[in-house]
Amino acid sequence: MTQMAALSGKNTNHSFVVGLGLNAPQNPHHRSSSCGSEPAICNKNAISQGSRNAHKLYGALVGGPDQFGRYVDRASDYIRNEVAIDFNAGLQSLAAGLKQREMTIQAKRSRNSAP
């Protein structure tokens, strides 16, 4: 729960999941979300152009702050703003586990309150 609170920004007022909360990342280092619609050219330079990402990558976890707690929402910063499968898999697993726990608690309450 502590890690989910940190990722969602409850501790720092800054979420690290795109689309979650008021101060969520807008510009993850992700080529498909950085490129405009066709006929726009989509290459590695599209990420570093400095403008906002063309498409919102809802639910993606970015790398997060540095060791001093600093975070800049810049697509060109692949270290702190990259969307990678290793930590996104962990986020999705955590979310699924929390949902399963919630459903189990609700089912027990429902059984206990049945006549």
3-state secondary structure the chain: CHHHHHHHCCCCCCCCECCCCCCCCCCCECHHHHCCCCCCCCCHHHHCCCCCCCCCCCCCEECCCCCCCCCCCCCCCHHHHEECHHHHHHHHHHHHHHHHHHHHHHHHHHHHHCC
Catalytic residue annotation: 73, 82
Q: Give the position of tokens 């962990």.
A: 90
Write the single-letter amino acid at 85: I
